[in-house]
Amino acid sequence: MFGFKSCNFLFPLYDHPNMYGFVKVLCGLESMTAPMYYADIYESEHIHACLFGFKSCDFLFPLHDHPDMYGFLKVLRGGLSVNSYTKLSRDEQEALKGIKSDALSANVTIAKFEGISNRWHSDDCVYLGPKFSNIHSLTPLEDGVAFFDLLMPGYHDKPCTYFKNIMQNPKLKQACLLQKIAEPEDYYCQVLPYEKIKTL
């Protein structure tokens, strides 16, 4: 289940004057070689704010999670397709017919497919929580898409996990088997020059 929130509380971060330099850099994507681009915006004990950009629409931000975090995603330029899954609890897993949780590999996660949502720069935020839509992938709908990402409380010592859906073309609310994988080799970001916000 996706949540959509008003983005007004994010204005001090993604509408900060420093942001305009990032947008200018994105206008020169042709000279960049990485499939994605990244800039740290602000980080504290409680939140981590950053910016991402896609060079072109032929690259998928891989399926990943944000362990025990709340996430707010705001598209700043272009459009983005969000593909989302919710990890099932052990009780929910055991209730599924034909699937025994104790027989599954530790590298396989059972998750419910929450669907795909297309969001544009004029739309509100996508809201992802610790217990819903936490596993997700992002697909740009055009070249040069950029988005703002706010995580609460932030990664700190909790690395994200990458996944691959073993089941092809899942139906809405269908239970899927997600295989844990290493970070994809083709996923890397060019870090952009950006003056990090020191205080809000």
Q: What is the DSSP letter of 57?
A: T
When pLDDT is cut at 50, 70 and 90, the band that residue 1 belongs to is very low
How do beta strands 36-43 and 189-191 pair?
Answer: parallel
DSSP H or E run through 24: helix 19-26
> Which residue range is the domain that position 34 belongs to?
3-183
Mapped onto helix, strand or coil, the DSSP state of residue 195 is coil
Structure tokens at 185: 């080799």
Mapped onto helix, strand or coil, the DSSP state of residue 14 is helix
CATH code at 133? 2.60.120.10
Q: How far apart are CA 12 and CA 24, in angstroms?
A: 19
- The DSSP bridge partners found for residue 149 are 50, 73
Mean pLDDT, rounded, for 128-149: 94
- Whether 56 maps to a domain, the answer reads yes
When pLDDT is cut at 50, 70 and 90, the band that residue 3 belongs to is low
- Whether 101 maps to a domain, the answer reads yes
- pLDDT of 86 reads 96
CB atoms within 10 A of CB 136: 25
- Whether 148 maps to a domain, the answer reads yes
- pLDDT of 94 reads 74
Q: What is the DSSP letter of 64?
A: E
CA dihedral of residues 177, 101, 92, 127 (deg, nearest 10): -40
CB-based contact 182:94 (threshold 8 Å): no
Question: Total structural domains in the chain?
Answer: 1
Higher pLDDT, 10 or 170: 170
pLDDT in tens, 73-132: 999 999 999 999 999 987 887 777 566 555 467 788 999 999 999 999 999 999 999 999
- The DSSP bridge partners found for residue 119 are 80
DSSP 128-155: EBTTBS-EEEEEESSTT-EEEEEEES--
Mean pLDDT, rounded, for 157-181: 91
Mapped onto helix, strand or coil, the DSSP state of residue 37 is strand
